[in-house]
């Protein structure tokens, strides 16, 4: 292998569907890509089939692969998250030089990406952890891409990534996210928000079905209408299509599907991170738990014959209620994204990331599952004010959420009266009401903690931490655990 020419702009390891589609997408955009897979026969098969007639080249060893890359070399991996990523990094390193770039385009958990960035930078290499969303179709024709890590790598990968990413009004859904694990973190939050969006839509479907007794077809018409306004989004659009889809016997297919939800874990990671950061990301939390509750179907079936609910019937104006549900959905969605950005802000503080909030909204605006018109409004808000403390403080969203409250409150209370669960919508409302209260009952809570545990509290008129002898018998030694 003496004279291998460096011909490729980028190399890609891992020829499963996502990897193949990204390679084809890069080729379409005029980049020369070198393909490698551990099972070398996959490379030949790919070159002889999907990649036939393109400029794509292949390699049969890691050494040959690295030699075919122009400098600084860009090695992108689309392999299974976890050990495989570390293994391939170890395999390519001997054939790379300082300044070369390794990109992980898989679904890595952000702490791994933080670690890898630090380790590789210490050795003189550059590392990019890039969230890629949009599934196989997105990878082929325009994904949403969320790169973070070694910032010096960005000018080198930017032309390729922005060329292959989805575009909205000519703007690529790909921008630099931030340092170390920021790209994979933002992708994780994206997935959490996706859980929330899906759960809210399911609640809208559920309450309209139960309260108004609508058919799947009628519900499909409602979603068709919603998709033309402020709720216009990919998930509303596919829900419309799903509700209209007929089984072989002509009945709605959706009604034949078992109601137990699966999950792969990124929603859970988001909630765990929210708990670690002390951020009230309640809506995504409820969305994850709603899937958990759905999964214990056998137990729910038994519960349904033991536990009864109200016999109340909906008596209001049906048309108005449909409108109210759209408002409940819209307001809950605003809350969920506000919570998501609160979490990212806190994680950024914790990890020293300088997050590009407007860029994040833009990256989610197209190409990915949560793409929507709404994200354009979020982008506008953060472009206008990059230092915006909370999405709810942006005048557009302050107004939008305020206008939606009446319908939102009506839907949540109807749900309670009729016995139809709305965990995401009602927890979002509880958050909203809590967030807009300057005073919450935590004064009593602090008193309780001081009473039984001598945890001390602060007075409104004095910041010092004090303990009260509540019973006239307790010790005066304050617990130090609170202050520790």
Ligand X SMILES: *[C@@H]1O[C@H](CO)[C@@H](O)[C@H](O)[C@H]1NC(C)=O
Cα maximum dimension of the chain: 89
Asked if residues 221 and 146 have their Cβ atoms less than 8 Å apart, the reply is: no
Structural tokens at position 481: 């655990």
Q: Is 190 annotated as a binding residue?
A: yes
State phi, psi for 87 to the nearest 5 degrees: -60, -45
- Written as six digits, the tokens of 437 are 């209260």
**In whole angstroms, what is the distance from residue 147 CA to residue 174 CA?**
8
DSSP state of 298: H
**Single residue of 2, 472, 481, 484 touching ligand X by CB under 6 A:** 472
Q: 245, 254 in Cβ contact below 8 A?
A: yes
440 vs 466 by CB, closer to ligand X: 466
Q: How far is the CB of 451 from ligand X (least distance, A)?
A: 13
- Closer CB to ligand X, 108 or 422, in the complex: 108
Q: Does 41 bind ligand X (CB under 6 A)?
A: no
Out of 25, 37, 133, 410, point to the residue binding ligand X (CB under 6 A): 37
Rounded Cα–Cα distance for residues 423 and 206 (Å): 12
Which range binds ligand X by CB under 6 A, 37-45, 176-184, 277-285, 396-404? 37-45
Q: Least separation, in Å, of the C-beta of 52 and ligand X?
A: 16
Q: Which stretch binds ligand X (CB under 6 A): 176-184, 247-255, 365-373, 469-477?
A: 469-477
Residue closer to ligand X (CB basis): 182 or 454: 454
| Residue choice 41, 49, 248, 464 for contact with ligand X (CB under 6 A) | 464
- With respect to ligand X, which residue has the nearer C-beta, 259 or 461? 461
SS3 label, residue 36 = strand
* Candidate list 21, 22, 32, 42; residue touching ligand X; CB under 6 A: 42
**Which of the ranges 103-111, 294-302, 422-430, 459-467 carries the binding residues for ligand X, by CB under 6 A?**
459-467
Reduce the DSSP state of residue 228 to 3 states and report it.
coil
Using CB under 6 A, which residues numbered 57 to 96 contact ligand X? 79
The stretch among 10-18, 133-141, 274-282, 444-452 that binds ligand X (CB under 6 A) is 10-18
- Three-state DSSP at 261 gives coil
Q: Does 53 bind ligand X (CB under 6 A)?
A: no
Of the candidates 42, 67, 194, 333, the residue annotated as catalytic is 194
Q: Is there a contact between 340 and 284 (Cβ–Cβ < 8 Å)?
A: yes
* Dihedral pair phi/psi, residue 132, rounded to 5°: -125, 125
Contact indicator for 144, 191 with CB cutoff of 8 Å:
no
**What is the secondary structure of 178-215 as a DSSP string?**
EETTHHHHHHHHHHHHHHHHHHHHHHHHHHHHHHH---
Q: Determine if residue 38 is labeled as part of a ligand binding site.
A: yes
| Candidate list 462, 481, 483, 484; residue touching ligand X; CB under 6 A | 462
Distance CA 184, CA 194 (A): 15
Minimum separation from the CB atom of position 57 to ligand X (A): 16
DSSP per-residue letters across 1-17? -------BSEEEE--SH
CB of 39 to ligand X, least distance (A): 5
For residue 47, the minimal CB distance to ligand X (Å) is 13
Geometric angle at alpha carbon 375, from 371 and 376, rounded to 5°: 115
194 part of the active site: yes
Would you give the end-to-end CA distance of the chain in angstroms? Answer: 62
152, 163 Cβ separation under 8 angstroms? no
Among 16, 93, 293, 418, binds ligand X (CB under 6 A): 16
- Please, what is the minimum distance in Å from the beta carbon of residue 477 to ligand X? 8
Query: For ligand X, which stretch binds (CB under 6 A), given 36-44, 138-146, 258-266, 327-335?
Result: 36-44
Q: Which of 250, 262, 278, 475 binds ligand X (CB under 6 A)?
A: 475
Binding residue numbers for substrate: 107, 133-135, 190-191, 195, 264, 291, 449, 455
Chain contacts with ligand X (rule: CB under 6 A): 13-16, 37-39, 42, 79, 462, 464, 466, 469, 472, 475-476
Residues forming the active site? 187, 194
């Amino acid at each position: 292998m003496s004279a291998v020419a460096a011909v490729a702009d980028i190399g890609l390891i891992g020829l499963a569907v996502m990897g193949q589609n990204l390679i084809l997408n890069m080729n379409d955009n005029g980049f020369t890509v070198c393909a490698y897979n551990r099972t070398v026969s996959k490379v030949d098969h790919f070159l002889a089939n999907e990649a036939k007639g393109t400029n794509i080249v292949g390699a049969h060893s890691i050494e040959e692969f690295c030699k075919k890359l122009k400098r600084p070399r860009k090695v992108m991996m689309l392999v299974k998250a976890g050990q495989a990523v570390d293994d391939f990094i170890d395999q390519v390193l001997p054939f790379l030089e300082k300044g070369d770039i390794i990109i992980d385009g898989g679904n890595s958990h952000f702490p791994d990406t933080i670690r890898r960035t630090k380790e590789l930078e210490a050795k003189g290499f550059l590392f990019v952890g890039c969230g890629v969303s949009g599934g196989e179709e997105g990878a082929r024709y325009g994904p949403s891409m969320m790169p973070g890590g070694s910032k010096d790598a960005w000018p080198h990968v930017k032309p390729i990534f922005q060329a292959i990413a989805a575009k909205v009004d000519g703007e690529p859904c790909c921008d630099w996210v931030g340092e170390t694990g920021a790209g994979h973190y933002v992708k994780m939050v994206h997935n959490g928000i996706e859980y929330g969006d899906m759960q809210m839509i399911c609640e809208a479907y559920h309450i309209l079905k139960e309260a108004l007794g609508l058919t799947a077809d009628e519900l499909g018409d409602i979603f068709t209408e919603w998709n033309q306004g402020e709720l216009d989004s990919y998930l509303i659009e596919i829900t419309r299509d799903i509700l209209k889809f007929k089984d072989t016997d002509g009945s709605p297919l959706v009604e034949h599907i078992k109601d137990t939800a699966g999950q792969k874990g990124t929603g859970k990671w988001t909630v765990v991170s929210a708990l670690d950061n002390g951020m009230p990301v309640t809506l995504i939390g409820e969305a994850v738990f709603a899937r958990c509750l759905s999964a214990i179907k056998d137990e729910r079936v038994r519960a349904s014959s033991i536990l009864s609910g109200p016999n109340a019937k909906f008596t209001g104006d049906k048309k108005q209620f449909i409108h109210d549900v759209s408002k409940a959905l819209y307001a809950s969605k605003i809350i969920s994204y506000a919570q998501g950005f609160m979490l990212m802000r806190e994680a950024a503080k914790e990890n020293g990331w300088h997050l590009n909030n407007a860029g994040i909204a833009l990256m989610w605006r197209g190409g990915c599952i949560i793409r929507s018109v709404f994200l354009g409004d979020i982008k506008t808000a953060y472009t206008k004010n990059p230092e915006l403390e909370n999405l709810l403080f942006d005048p557009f969203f302050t107004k939008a959420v305020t206008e939606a409250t009446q319908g939102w409150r009506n839907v949540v209370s109807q749900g309670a009266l009729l016995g139809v669960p709305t965990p995401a919508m009602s927890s979002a409302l509880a958050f909203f009401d809590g967030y807009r209260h300057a005073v919450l009952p935590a004064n009593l809570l602090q008193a309780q903690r001081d009473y039984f545990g001598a945890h001390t509290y602060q007075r409104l008129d004095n910041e010092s931490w004090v303990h009260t002898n509540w019973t006239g018998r307790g010790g005066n030694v304050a617990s130090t655990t609170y202050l520790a």
